[in-house]
Amino acid sequence: KQEVTQIPAALSVPEGENLVLNCSFTDSAIYNLQWFRQDPGKGLTSLLLIQSSQREQTSGRLNASLDKSSGRSTLYIAASQPGDSATYLCAVTSGNTPLVFGKGTRLSVIA
């Protein structure tokens, strides 16, 4: 059974810092990995999707990397802003199996 772990559970940083969120998964035979953002009381917004054949994806100040062999992904946020404050969720899917989620990292960026 696939299990996804996100570390740390919560993170507080001053504005302007670069930061890394970590995600690990137990079964390396994944099809793709998706990072989501969730604001309090809101739904999930997809940030980045990395297919199993890819090593990384970038969108603006966000960069996600994937190392299938070690079962790890990182989400790098450059020059953090208070508007980046949210919960970040990592999820993986293997073939046709549904998405399996980590419990998320709650990020606070302090102005």
Partner 1 sequence: NAGVTQTPKFQVLKTGQSMTLQCAQDMNHNSMYWYRQDPGMGLRLIYYSASEGTTDKGEVPNGYNVSRLNKREFSLRLESAAPSQTSVYFCATRTDRGLGYTFGSGTRLTVV
Residues within the interface to partner 1 (CB under 8 A): 31-32, 34, 36, 41-44, 46, 49, 51, 89, 91, 93, 95-96, 98-104
For residue 105, the one-letter residue type is T
Neighbouring C-alpha atoms within 13 Å toward the C-beta of 110: 4
Query: In terms of CB distance, is 57 or 80 closer to partner 1?
Result: 57
CB of 7 to partner 1, least distance (A): 14
CB of 17 to partner 1, least distance (A): 26
Q: Strands (DSSP E) along the chain, which ranges?
A: 4-7, 10-14, 19-25, 32-38, 44-51, 56-59, 62-67, 72-77, 86-93, 100-101, 105-110
Query: In terms of CB distance, is 75 or 89 closer to partner 1?
Result: 89
CB of 20 to partner 1, least distance (A): 20
